[in-house]
Amino acid sequence: MDFVAQTLSLPDQLRWAAAIDVPPLGPASAVLVAGMGGSGISGDFAAVLAEAEGRRLHVTKGYRLPRWALEEKPLLVAVSYSGNTEETLTVAREALDAGLVVVGISSGGELAQLPLAAHITVPGGNQPRASLGYLLGPLTGVLAAAGVLSDPGLEEATAVVEAVHDRGAPMALVEAMLGRIPIVWAGSPLTAPVAQRWKTQINENAKAPAWWSALPEADHNEIVGWQTLSGLTSEHLVVVPLRDTADHPRVGLRFEHSRHLTAPFVAWTEEVWTEGNGNLARLLGLAAVADLVTLELAGRYEVDPEAVALIEDLKALLKG
């Protein structure tokens, strides 16, 4: 399956995830998800789902188990599509040595060979960033089995993603981003990890620079950062506002006034809104728009959206 087909298979991935059997797990008072890149973003999305149910879920991205975890003993879920991500393996091994319950989600690799409490094997052959449903879907199942989530809403999320795919890439948005460095702005804890996902999809699929920020924090610093070099920023930067129906009313005002005040210094696109009712549907629908937009940008820039040569070169250098 080529990379575009992998990316657009998200609805099928979610249907697969809804049908798998998750091993029974005892109740967890806290959860820690370890993962990097296209695997780790599943933890960021899951943290939003857990917060909505008043539960605590932390995400670690690096080589070390957080010190608090040695005392609190959270359930650790190690997510690595390949099963060979060195940072995630390091954290998983440290957690096992510390006596934590560790669950793995991967397509195989070294992670599946560790003495885990449970391992969920996902279909292989994809790029990690084109496997969000294969990773986040089972993660929601693990969290439900641990008493952290109720129904995650996979059915609604599948329907919303399919509707986004049926419409295709919003071409006005693509045109507004073309040739500019996008600054993806979130307006709530729900849209913040999606803004991060937009940024990384722009990086990897379109091979283009981008960054993300969130309101209201960006109104306390970033909005003044485009004035001194406005000759450059007005031509080469563009703000992409991600909106959600649950945004705080004051955040809605902040988007409106921030656009008006910064228009002389930076371009803005149309607002991109979440769809659906459940948190998972809103997260994944907005993420699906990013997939379509960044694949279109890759085509316009005449780059291969799948290849990540520099990342592979770095991994080779680290292996020595």
Catalytic residue list: 204, 220, 315
- Distance, in Å, from the CA atom of 192 to the CA atom of 49, rounded to the nearest integer, reads 13
Please report, as a single letter, which amino acid is at residue 46.
Answer: A
From 217, 283, 271, 208, select the one nearest 239 (Cα to Cα).
271
- Distance, in Å, from the CA atom of 216 to the CA atom of 193, rounded to the nearest integer, reads 15
Determine if residue 136 is left, alpha or beta; phi over 0 gives left, psi from -120 to 50 gives alpha, anything else beta.
alpha
Beta strand 75-79 with 102-106 is parallel
- Distance, in Å, from the CA atom of 262 to the CA atom of 215, rounded to the nearest integer, reads 14
The C-alpha angle with vertex 190 and arms to 187 and 193, in degrees rounded to 5, equals: 90
Give strand ranges (E) for the chain.
31-34, 57-60, 75-79, 102-106, 118-121, 181-186, 211-214, 237-243, 267-268, 272-273
Please give the span between the terminal C-alpha atoms of the chain, in angstroms, as a whole number.
32
Please report, as a single letter, which amino acid is at residue 152.
Answer: P
Please report, as a single letter, which amino acid is at residue 262.
Answer: T
Under 8 Å between Cβ of 37 and 131: no
